[in-house]
Amino acid sequence: MGFGHDGDVAVDLIVPMKPPAAGKSRLRGALHGPWDERRHAALVLALARDTLLAATASAGVRRVLVVGSAPATLDALRDLDVEVVGEEAALGLNGALRAGERLLRVSDRGATIGALQADLPALRAEELAAALAEADDRRCFAADRHGTGTTLLVSAPGQPLDPRFGRGSAREHAESGAVPLRLAAPTLRGDVDTPADLEHARLLGLGTHTAALLERECVPH
């Protein structure tokens, strides 16, 4: 349980996403010019694409399930090694994560389930793998670089994920008994909610899709 055939940890990850044009509203000032739905959605999808490429390349990751509130808006991600499903109803962020967990447990009741944010464009597979290894069958979380949000929550094998994402989620996860991961993992903690976060991720080293999009959009650096 929680281990792959080779004896390594094996985690099924859920990545929740709103429609890209609607999500990440605090990032609306990141691109130049008047806000444009199509360009904003392209940025949000680029962030997700880089996140998902790192997640699927990470040791210790078995499946990656993207749970979208409107999955048709996520078609651009279907060429990746991920599954894309929709919520049956508007469930909210934690409801969508619980729905993803139920779906994954149909295949493996004893699975180790993780929730990963979709806005980690500098994420390195090695850092995610190290975080999953440190979790070591305990319910654990990685706080974001500000210490307030959560970028990764992992269940114990076969045990509830019990997601408490939202404002102040790092504290909520700690108070619910999840163990804070200690490793530095700056790219895992570098979620992008604001233009300042995007600049921080750029300093860490953006994934190729976000970097190319910013280059096309002529965002100075």
Ligand X SMILES: Nc1nc2c(ncn2[C@@H]2O[C@H](COP(=O)(O)OP(=O)(O)OP(=O)(O)O)[C@@H](O)[C@H]2O)c(=O)[nH]1
**Interactions with ligand X, residue window 96-115 (CB under 6 A):** 96
Do 163 and 98 touch, CB atoms closer than 8 A? yes
Angstrom distances, CA of residue 167 to CA of 53, 70, 172, 173, 188: 27, 23, 9, 11, 18
Please state whether beta strands 61-68 and 140-143 pair in parallel, antiparallel, or not at all (unpaired): unpaired
- Asked if residue 118 binds ligand X (CB under 6 A), the reply is yes
The two structure tokens encoding residue 135? 């979790």
Is 150 known as a binding-site position?
yes
* Angle between helix 208-216 and helix 37-57 axes, rounded to 10 deg: 160
For ligand X (CB under 6 A), the number of binding residues is 18
Distance CA 207, CA 212 (A): 9
101 binds, among ligand PEP, ligand X, none (CB under 5 to 8 A by kind): none
Segment 152 to 181, residues that bind ligand PEP, using CB under 6 A? 165-166, 169
How far is it, in rounded angstroms, from Cα 30 to Cα 137? 38
The residue among 56 and 94 lying less far from ligand X, judged by its C-beta, is 94
Torsions phi, psi of 200, nearest 5? -60, -45
Beta carbon nearer to ligand X, 23 or 121: 23
Confirm or deny that 190 is annotated as ligand binding: no
181-200 residues near ligand X, rule: CB under 6 A: 193
Interacting span for ligand PEP (CB under 6 A) from 30-38, 66-74, 129-137, 144-152: 144-152
Q: Which of 100, 144, 91, 125 is nearest to 12 (CA)?
A: 100
Q: Is 68 in the site for ligand X (CB under 6 A)?
A: yes
| 205's tokens | 């080293």
Between 2 and 190, CB nearer to ligand PEP = 190
> Cα–Cα distance between 172 and 55 in angstroms, integer?
24
Q: Residue 100 or 149: which CB sits closer to ligand PEP?
A: 149
Per CB under 6 A, residues contacting ligand X are 16-18, 23-26, 67-69, 87, 92-93, 96, 117-119, 193
Per CB under 6 A, residues contacting ligand PEP are 144, 149-150, 165-166, 169, 191, 193
Q: Which residues are annotated as a binding site for phosphoenolpyruvate?
A: 150, 166, 169
